[in-house]
A and B are shown apart, each in its own frame.
Chain A
Amino acid sequence: MNKSDFESICLEHRLCNDHTLSSKIIPEACDFIVSNKKNKLPVIWLETSDSGDNNIAFMNTTYPYLHQVFTDMIDLLYSNTFMAAQGGDALEILFNSIKLHHGKFTLVVEGAIPTKDDGLYNVIAQTKSHRITALEAVKLLGAAAEYVVAIGTCASFGGISSAAPNTTGSVGVSKVLDRDVINVSGCPVNPDWFVGTLAHLLMYGKPELDDLGRPKMFYEYTVHQHCQRRSYFDKKEFAEHLGDIECMFSLGCAGPRTSADCPYRQWINHVSWPVKVNTPCIGCTNQDFPDGSTPFFSPLPEKTLNKQKQSLTQPTAEKGEAYEQEKDNN
């Protein structure tokens, strides 16, 4: 019903005292509410072992901004970072939400899961009798959730929380759950990747994922493929110092083996990205970040010289082209 129809019904029946006006309008209003009803994703967000950088990255989302995400896209039922409730009141919301939205909520996990020593390296909350470890909470919630989204590289693959020597035995979320996990990696995540994934879940269901469980719409191509400095690489013109304008393969750029759309998308309202400020990509979306990226300023073929790398099985290549080859073969 358009506005003028609505007004004419109101005018026509305004003097009736037998509820004719209500009976005319209420069905229309109900139709309107039903057809325009916004489904929101119920979300339970667990912070585990990371730096909290992913919730800060989430705060940096633009169009939609954070408050628009809260109003239009998700019901953020439990979140250590944002929720007004605290202590036992917060835990009560958590347990009620699991019951109320069983099988329907999206579990967002921010951080790696320590598995050593009964998981005691990360306790998300404690009661008088019990310490709830991240390991226990993720298993419990993961089994009851419709979708599980791992936000950031720690949650996706272990990330820096699992970097050598990994004292805490930390792993990515998918390693402790026997189910599909959508990995939205990045250190931190680009808010577009995360909010875009939520949007896909909300409007179209599960997005198409790559071999590592990441939404293809963000991670299908390498940084190298779309880098603004690709022409320098092709002409073999390499930077000697940070601040130079040439290709930074020589300065340790991990772009050739890093899947992300940073060159197009850029960061923080799309104003910049590491290569634009004359620094190499450090491969923060990768499964083996940071161990596969350090020393950050050594060229890719030399990165494996680090003592830390002995346990890694990543292949090394003579030249940057080999990485392209590898990518093509996959």
Chain B
Amino acid sequence: MSKKKIIISPVTRLSGLLSMELIVEDKQVIEANASCTMFRGFEYIMRDRHVTDAVYMTQRVCGICSTVHGAAASYLLDKLYDNDISENAQYIRNVMLAADFLQNHIRHFYFFGLPDFVIMPNQPPFINQNCYDCRLNDSDNHRVASHYFDAVAVSEKCHQILALFGGKAPHQHSFVHGGVSVAPTADKINKALSLIRDIRTFIEGCLMPDTELIAHCYNDYYDIGITPGRFLSFGLFRFGNKNHELLWRGGVKAGSQFRNEANLDYIKEDITKAWYYRPKWSNEDTPAPYKPGAYTWNKAVLYDGLHYEGGPIVRMIINGFYSGGTSTMDRIVARSIETKLIAELIEKWLKIIKIGDAPIARKKDLAASEGISITDAMRGPLLHAVKLNGEQVDKFDIITPTSWNFSPKDEKENRGPAEEALVGTLIPHPDLKYVIPGRIIRSFDPCISCATH
């Protein structure tokens, strides 16, 4: 049987521009190349700017997960200025961050994921939907498809919570270094409580049962798109006056081996298959769009020389909220479980916030000239690092979750997690050549604007 090439381009229903090239032999995927086809150059853009610009600038790396970039940059600045974060600020910050997680997860499930499994109305933007393998019965299909439209208002409500405290969304304004600039008042807290109760009703009444139904009807996807299961998380929801406590712990898990905290010195970026050039005398990468043999703007990221996966599935397994495998359906189910847990947390935190003045206190002078901050983002581990020259940025590094998940091959030709998940997949019918890989790819919730920044 001869080898055949399938190019899925564009992989729609995700953030940013992704193409996936598959080599298929005897109906089985034997190679996958994840090609992220956009580059903006944020690390250069950050250079020479005042370090306190980092929160608003880096949020613009991403549209669907902007708040977490602002959070990572705020933690970084808190460290550089040695700020003390008040308890009230910690709760408001986490409410805002968590609301953006809900927005992301609900939009991912309904707007991006649902048309993979459910027949949508035959009108734009759903025309020419491939329904070769849509398995829900008519009444289930009708009900679940209608939840797409219910999710419109609910996901907007998640951003309303964020905007109540953050001024706008995406790219909120008040979660900055030193705390939050907004004054928590009874009306804001009460509005947010009312909104989160609506959102929880939807999550418990639609998202959870819809996830269960899809998991049931497509249970073969518990055996499709399996990754090697090397897990990395930086933990989520930072508390403590120095942002030093994590509500959900992070860790590095490879098989039965578990390490509580990632050793950041072990993280390396590999540009073998990425469109960059790294001169021998420096570690400074420059774009090289004509580089032969390269196929993506995303650099491979390695921990201790190996590819690692991040995301809700990793957080849920490491924290004991989910015990399952590392398949396509496990990733989808874990994300929904996380959505439900986060919504409960928001309601709990809102009730703890005390009314009063804006809980923000900034120190004036820098206490350090370089630093690294880490947190988990919606899709996995996020790292911001900076070296300063006075108060100006000398070098800024951002490593995002999709860089890990959609890593290209490294110098040893090892595949990244998404590529690995695709290899071995059977494509039993030509009409499924986009459908099956599309489901596997989207279960990682890729964000290419983040990955390549």
Contact = CB atoms under 8 A, between A and B. Distances in A.
Interface of A: 47-57, 59-62, 65-67, 70-71, 74-77, 79-93, 114, 117-118, 120-128, 131, 160-161, 163-168, 170, 187-188, 241-243, 267-269, 271-279, 282, 284, 290, 294-298, 306-308
Contacts of B275: 120
Determine which residue in B153, B173, B178 has the highest number of CB atoms from chain A within 10 A of its CB, and name it.
B173
B5 A122 contact: no
Nearest to A245: B183
B111 A267 contact: no
A131 B35 CA distance: 12
A76 B125 contact: yes
A124 B8 CA distance: 12
B49 interface: yes
Contacts of B115: 84
Determine which residue in A47, A275, A307 has the highest number of CB atoms from chain B within 10 A of its CB, and name it.
A47
Contacts of B11: 86-87
B262 interface: no
27 contacts: A55-B63, A57-B63, A57-B170, A67-B148, A76-B125, A81-B13, A84-B120, A86-B11, A86-B434, A88-B9, A93-B127, A123-B17, A123-B38, A124-B10, A126-B37, A187-B171, A242-B360, A242-B362, A271-B164, A272-B167, A277-B166, A277-B173, A277-B181, A294-B49, A295-B49, A296-B50, A307-B392
Interface stretch (B40-48, B252-260, B330-338, B401-409): B40-48
Nearest to B165: A277
> Which 3 pairs across A and B sit closest by C-beta, in order of nearness?
A53-B63, A243-B358, A52-B63
Given A87-B7, A87-B8, A187-B171, A167 B44 contact: yes
A267 B156 CA distance: 11
Contacts of A66: 152, 156
A279 B167 contact: yes
A62 B163 CA distance: 14
B376 to A, nearest CB: 19
Nearest to A110: B63
B16 A52 contact: yes
A128 B53 contact: no
Contact of A51 (B7, B35, B60, B174): B60
A6 B234 CA distance: 67
Nearest to B15: A52
The number of chain B residues touching the other chain, given as a range, is 35 or more
Given A241-B360, A267-B163, A60 B125 contact: no
A128 B149 CA distance: 36
The SS class assigned to the B binding surface is: loop
Contacts of B9: 87-88, 91, 125-127
Contacts of A56: 63-64, 107, 169-170
Contacts of A243: 181, 183, 357-358, 360
B40 A267 contact: no
B12 A81 contact: yes
A65 B125 contact: no
B123 interface: yes
Interface string B150-177: 0011011001101111111111011010
Nearest to A308: B48
Nearest to B12: A86
A53 B66 contact: yes
B321 interface: no
B174 A53 contact: no
A79 B125 contact: yes
A195 to B, nearest CB: 13
Contact of B19 (A47, A82, A125): A125
A127 B166 contact: no
B290 interface: yes
B63 A51 contact: yes
B125 A84 contact: yes
A187 B357 CA distance: 28
Contacts of A277: 165-167, 173-174, 181-182
A38 to B, nearest CB: 13
B39 interface: yes
Nearest to A83: B125
A53 B162 CA distance: 15
A95 to B, nearest CB: 12
B124 A242 contact: no
B57 interface: yes
Determine which residue in A48, A76, A123 has the highest number of CB atoms from chain B within 10 A of its CB, and name it.
A123
Contacts of B392: 307
B58 to A, nearest CB: 10
Contact of A59 (B13, B155, B447): B155
